Amino acid sequence: MLTQRSRYAMRAMLFLAEAPAGSAPIPMTRIAIAANVPRKFLELILADLREAGLLHSHRGKMGGYCLSRPRHLISLGDIIRVIEGPLALVPCVSRTAYRPCGDCVSEADCAIRHAMMRVRDETARILDGTSLADAAAEELAVA
């Protein structure tokens, strides 16, 4: 299950994705209000997204945040990995944080591992295949 932190991050990123390309940076207070995220919590989330290269921040009176890449080049998978870490439910199937399971006799014969590998692959396919542009378009279609 996604944490509240991930949901906040996705709401903030979707709000930023609605801004026209090349527009002025959006102040954190405006993002917090529009995405319905507590400002102090948002500050930490935006810092993580900035450090991961998904956002640019600008200081000063006219400062704020903007996407670092076009919205069709940022996936929901990118955001979730920054906030949650690997998508894999067990460490032995993670592509970025692999660790053998301590109680597994044989990875090659482990039915749990094989099932979790399919779950990881399908989850990654869907999340990595859904950009902010796709998600924003789906949100508009539902409204």
pLDDT given for residue 60 in this prediction: 85
pLDDT given for residue 1 in this prediction: 82
Model pTM greater than 0.75?
yes
pLDDT given for residue 141 in this prediction: 60
pLDDT at 4 over 60: yes
Looking at this protein, which amino acid is placed at residue 28?
A: M
Residue given tokens 């917090």 in the structure block: 32
Residue range 41-68: mean pLDDT, rounded: 94
pLDDT at 126 over 80: yes
Residue range 96-125: mean pLDDT, rounded: 89
For 78-104, how does the pLDDT look when each residue is reduced to its tens digit (9 = 90+)? Answer: 999 999 998 888 888 888 888 888 888
pLDDT at 77 over 60: yes
What secondary structure does DSSP assign to the chain, as a single string? Answer: ---HHHHHHHHHHHHHHTSPTTPPPBPHHHHHHHHT--HHHHHHHHHHHHHTTSEEEE-STT-EEEESS-GGG-BHHHHHHHHH--S-SSGGG-SSS----TT-S-GGG-HHHHHHHHHHHHHHHHHHT-BHHHHHHHHHHH-
- Percent with pLDDT over 90 in the chain: 67
Burial (CB count <10 Å: 0-12, 13-18, 19+), residue 82? buried
Q: Rounded distance, CA 6 to CA 29, Å?
A: 19
